[in-house]
């Protein structure tokens, strides 16, 4: 049931996260197209996919602009030592992504989740662009009838690296590797560990099109590998059509000022998660959750600033949608648990 208490809990949790963290954007790279919203959000347990496939609010284009000027030395006012060190510290500032999601009760099952992610540029030993260190924590609460024997509180910790390298003006290769610990804190054995990775190539034949080919290993039993195949079409500066699997969407720039862009988008795709937990009798089990969703969203973000990896200021997002095809699968139980369709509310901030 939708209640005022649940809605206030959802918003309060996000606000507490938001005011607790502040960071300045990092500078590197040359001028790029304006920022555009990315994929419709996945559940926190799918943060690996969300981080690696052009996330909402990501000001980094799918294929970066020419990189000759990235991490170029700053002209010193007095001596190289006094100027270079502060500049490098600015370049390596982290990016934070905080979000919360609520799927109201259906068939007695309610799901609430929150997600905190960090993306940190590392020193560009091999030249720009640099590799990135990614870290994240996700919390998911499942309020369900006791007879379903589902866990209540689930946690996921992740740590990984990603790197993209341009081969020439038209081709880029992107690789990533991540380790995940997903558990209810009672089952902490081998079932709780997952290793995810992937590689894909991006080809840009012209300024309007990006084509991508590759695969992602999800570390999950039900869908171990997801194809990365599709295209992104930008017919104008205000329209972006993303045909990338597993979450296509269409974005439209509603309005723009010197300090803010307002984007609207529609999208859909697959979401879910995988955790280790203990049944009520103490036996270990692995839980897979899978769903499909259709969403509409709005995002407010600062415009792209020339010479910066990410624009100064924060991006805000709110998303609503319809969730269907929902089911829980357990490794040692024959019958799946299917639950009714429901709505979703998602909100987030990035800075």
Structure tokens at 181: 């610990």
Whether 229 has a pLDDT exceeding 70, the answer reads yes
197: three-class secondary structure by DSSP: strand
Give pLDDT, residue 128.
78
Whether 72 has a pLDDT exceeding 90, the answer reads no
Task: Give me the torsion for CA of 43, 45, 51, 53, rounded to 10°.
Answer: -60
Residue appearing with tokens 């995002």: 299
Whether 344 has a pLDDT exceeding 90, the answer reads yes
CA distance readout (Å), 223 to 216, 228, 294: 10, 13, 20
Give pLDDT, residue 210.
95
Distance separating alpha carbons of residues 165 and 63, to the nearest angstrom: 10
What would the mean pLDDT of 68-88 be, rounded to a whole number? 42
Whether 13 has a pLDDT exceeding 60, the answer reads no
- pLDDT one-digit tens code per residue, 159-212: 999 998 999 999 999 999 999 999 999 999 999 999 999 999 999 999 999 999
Residue appearing with tokens 């998602």: 346
Q: H helices within the chain, ranges in order?
A: 4-20, 47-52, 80-91
Distance separating alpha carbons of residues 119 and 99, to the nearest angstrom: 15
Distance separating alpha carbons of residues 48 and 116, to the nearest angstrom: 12
Nearest to 301 by CA among 270, 236, 255, 246: 255
Which DSSP symbol is given to 108?
T
Which residue would you say has higher pLDDT here, 310 or 231? 231
Nearest to 289 by CA among 263, 242, 325: 325
- pLDDT one-digit tens code per residue, 123-140: 888 877 889 999 999 999
Which residue would you say has higher pLDDT here, 226 or 90? 226
Give pLDDT, residue 86.
42
Which residue would you say has higher pLDDT here, 82 or 303? 303
Give pLDDT, residue 90.
65
Nearest to 25 by CA among 220, 237, 304: 304
Give pLDDT, residue 222.
67
Which residue would you say has higher pLDDT here, 26 or 162? 162
The band of 224, judged by pLDDT with boundaries at 50, 70 and 90, is: confident
What is the percentage of the chain residues whose pLDDT exceeds 90? 59
Summary mean pLDDT of the chain: 79
- pLDDT one-digit tens code per residue, 97-108: 999 999 999 999
**pTM > 0.85:** no
277, 268 in Cβ contact below 8 A? no
Give pLDDT, residue 330.
94
Distance separating alpha carbons of residues 301 and 265, to the nearest angstrom: 14
Nearest to 22 by CA among 95, 106, 107, 113: 95
- pLDDT one-digit tens code per residue, 29-57: 333 333 333 333 334 334 455 555 544 33
Which DSSP symbol is given to 258?
S
**Phi, psi at 175, each rounded to 5°:** -130, 155
CA distance readout (Å), 13 to 1, 16, 20, 119, 137: 19, 5, 11, 21, 14
Give pLDDT, residue 21.
36
């Amino acid at each position: 049931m939708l209640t005022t208490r649940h809605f206030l809990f959802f918003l309060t949790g996000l606000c507490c996260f938001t005011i607790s963290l502040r960071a300045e954007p990092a500078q590197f790279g040359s001028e790029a197209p304006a920022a555009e919203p990315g994929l419709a959000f996945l559940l926190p347990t799918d943060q690996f996919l969300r981080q690696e496939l052009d996330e909402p609010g990501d000001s980094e284009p799918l294929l970066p602009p020419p990189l000759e000027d990235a991490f170029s030395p700053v002209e010193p006012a007095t001596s190289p030592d006094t100027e270079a060190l502060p500049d490098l510290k600015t370049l390596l500032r982290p990016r934070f992504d905080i979000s919360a999601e609520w799927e109201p009760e259906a068939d007695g099952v309610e799901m609430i989740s929150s997600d905190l992610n960090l993306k940190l540029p590392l020193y560009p030993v091999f030249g720009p662009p640099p590799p990135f260190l990614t870290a994240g924590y996700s919390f998911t609460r499942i309020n369900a009838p006791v007879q379903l024997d589902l866990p209540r509180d689930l946690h996921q910790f992740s740590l990984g690296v990603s790197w993209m390298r341009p081969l020439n003006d038209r081709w880029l290769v992107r690789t990533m590797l991540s380790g995940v610990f997903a558990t209810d804190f009672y089952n902490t054995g081998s079932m709780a560990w997952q290793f995810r990775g992937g590689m894909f190539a991006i080809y840009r034949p012209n300024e309007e099109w990006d084509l991508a080919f590759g695969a992602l290993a999800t570390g999950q039993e039900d869908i171990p590998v997801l194809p990365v195949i599709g295209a992104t079409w930008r017919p104008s500066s205000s329209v972006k059509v993303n045909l990338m699997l597993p979450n296509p969407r269409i974005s439209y720039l509603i309005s723009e000022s010197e300090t803010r862009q307002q984007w609207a988008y529609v999208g859909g795709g697959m979401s879910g998660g995988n955790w280790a937990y203990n049944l009520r009798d103490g036996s270990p089990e692995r839980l897979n959750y899978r769903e499909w969703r259709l969403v509409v969203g709005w995002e407010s973000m600062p415009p792209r600033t020339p010479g910066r990896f990410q624009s100064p200021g924060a991006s805000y997002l709110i998303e609503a949608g319809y969730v269907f095809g929902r089911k829980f699968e357990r490794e040692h139980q024959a019958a799946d648990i299917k639950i009714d369709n429901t709505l979703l509310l998602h909100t987030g901030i990035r800075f």
